[in-house]
Structure 1
Amino acid sequence: MLVDMHCHILPGMDDGSPDVDTSFVMLRQQAEQGIEAVCATSHYYVDQNSITTFCERRAAALEKLLAVLPGGLPRIIPAAEVAFFSGISERAGLERLCIEGTKTLMLEMPFTEWNDFQVEEVSALVLDRGFHVVLVHPERFCASKGNVWRLRELEDLPVALQVNARTLMRWRTRRLGLKLLQETRYPLLGSDCHNLTTRPPNLAEGRKVVAQKLGEAFLAKMDQSAAWLIQSAAEKVVP
């Protein structure tokens, strides 16, 4: 199954798709690229919504979208792009923000210099609470040497790294994106699509770069990682 691990497809949830019509066209474009499932990773910020409120909003947006969709489009899997917050490792109900039916948590780290305490919190999510943590678009945080060093610490846990397809499509950032994919045990690619213009569905273009630069076998490894991370806990066997 070809999975887009990161997209903002649900209408009216965040700065992604504004309405049902846009969501439909985005899904149709993803289907044309061979995508069979998408993780609907709407932004979650702890200071904007409680977990319950977020999940209720997400369910309503998904219901509204599914009511008008024809067959033949990718399966939509509820999830969240969770912005790191202090105390996240102890927050009750965090499972509800994971990819539905799993313990896979899509985590966006702070856009600042990371500190030891933040790294310890991520470690606790993995080691103490048993989450499969996916660090989304880690390439955005590598301008800081300190963050690069701490990212390598986190890779030893291990955590999965999800690089954006757009990163591989730009020659200035391609080398870094490919390097991050090669360094992690669980390499993932996502479109992080938000709309039809500035950030459209583009997973197929990113996958083409992976195939050209790292080979078809590596592409298959990415697909295996994605399939494993969206499996339910009952089905999961560590690869």
Structure 2
Amino acid sequence: MRKMNAGGLVEMHAHILPGMDDGSKSVEMSIEMLHRLAEMGVAKVCATSHYYAGQNSVTMYLERRAMALEQLREAVGAQDDLPCILPAAEVAYFRGVEEHHPERLCIENTRTLMLEMPFSEWTDQQTEAVTVLALDLHFNVVLVHPERFCFSSNNRRRLKELASLPIALQVNADTLLHWRSRKQGLELLELTSTPLLGSDCHNTTSRPPNLKGGREMVLRKLGEKFLDRMDENARMLTVPHLVTE
């Protein structure tokens, strides 16, 4: 395995905040997940807790997230060998997402929006909303684990259309670690101009941090230059920018 880049890696997708969703259930589990990510060379981790518009207002979600983040940071204390935690959200698509101040759900201090599309047949209205977010509102839209939505020719066609826009596709590392899904995952990474990899880790057992294995498969199948491009994409999408409300 090649050396990690000098600035450290970015974990784009992690359910690492304790008690926020179906991810980490405790501060202790969160710290163990951080240690495992650190061992993989991760310097920054996006805390992408699920956001469902039907369950929480944005304000309530952000308040809960802030409390969970403070709890975890206090427990981490002076352990400066652990990754920096970036507040973020995995936003489940909802009607009108482009009209409800999506900047509040971006990775903190960026215009990067981690968006989970519906687990159903996509419609014109849904793909148009993503287009508006990317082209009209100038968000850096990241469609998370697109491989989960390729169960129909309709969704595959619409995903291909979206991938032609300045939109990132974030494939889960686990997809590349199983031979049944590997081919599709690699094809999706090659489909977009902004490929990304994330572990989508939820715990330390059934869905642990596994970025290293996914990266090794990218290196083996797509090459070092492709892997470097993915790393640079993740770095650029998490660099703080001046964000206007």
Q: TM-score range by the shorter chain?
A: over 0.9
The SS at the match of 2:88 is strand
Q: How does 1:58-207 map to 2 (within 5 A)?
A: 58-69=65-76, 70-91=79-100, 93-207=101-215
Measure how far apart 1:218 and its partner are. 0.6
Residue type matched to 2:45 in 1? V
Cα deviation for residue 71 of structure 1 reads: 2.0
Inter-partner Cα distance in structure 2 for 1:103 and 1:71: 27
Match of 1:36, SS state, is strand
Q: Which residue of 1 aligns with 2:3?
A: none
Cα drift, residue 232 of structure 1:
2.0
One-letter code aligned to 1:83: A
Q: Secondary structure at the match of 2:189?
A: helix
TM superposition shift of 1:190: 0.2
Corresponding position: 1:39 with 2:19: no
Structure 2 SS opposite 1:67: helix
**Which position in structure 2 is the counterpart of 1:2?**
9
In the alignment, the residues of structure 1 paired with residue 239 and residue 204 of structure 2 have an alpha-carbon distance, to the nearest angstrom, of 29
Shift of 1:55: 0.6
TM-score normalised by L of structure 2:
0.94
Equivalent-residue separation in structure 1 for 2:72 and 2:142 (angstroms): 26
| Partner residue, 2:5 | none
| Preserved contact between residue 116 and residue 144 of structure 2 (Cα < 8 Å) | yes
1:118-173 CA distance string (max 9 Å, x none)? 10011111122111100000000011110000001111222100000000000000
1:67-98 Cα shifts (integer Å, max 9, x gaps):
0112210010000000000111111x321110
Equivalent residue, structure 2, for 1:50: 57
Q: Give the Cα–Cα distance (whole angstroms) in 1 for the partners of residues 205 and 24 of structure 2.
A: 11
Q: Which of the numbers 25, 29, 37 marks the counterpart of 1:18? A: 25
- The percent of aligned pairs where both chains have the same amino acid is 60
Q: Which among 6, 9, 29 is matched to residue 36 of structure 2?
A: 29
Q: Secondary structure at the match of 2:171?
A: strand
- Alpha-carbon distance between aligned partners in 1 of 2:81 and 2:238, rounded to the nearest angstrom: 20
Measure how far apart 1:233 and its partner are: 2.5
Query: How far is 1:24 from its partner?
Result: 0.4
Paired amino acid for 1:81: E
What do you get for the CA RMSD once the two structures are aligned?
A: 1.0
1:190-214 CA deviation, whole Å, 9 max, x = no partner?
0000001100000001000000011
- CA distance, structure 2, for counterparts of residue 76 and residue 212 of structure 1: 29
Query: What amino acid maps onto 1:163 in structure 2?
Result: V
Question: 1:52 offset after TM fit, Å?
Answer: 0.6
Please tell me the residue identity of whatever aligns with 2:39.
E
Aligned partner of residue 49 in structure 2, secondary structure: strand
Consecutive unaligned residues in structure 2, runs of 5 or more: 1-7
For 2:232 and 2:40, locate their aligned partners in 1 and report how far apart those are by CA, in whole Å.
Answer: 18
Number of positions where the alignment pairs a residue of Structure 1 with one of Structure 2: 234
Displacement of 1:65: 0.3
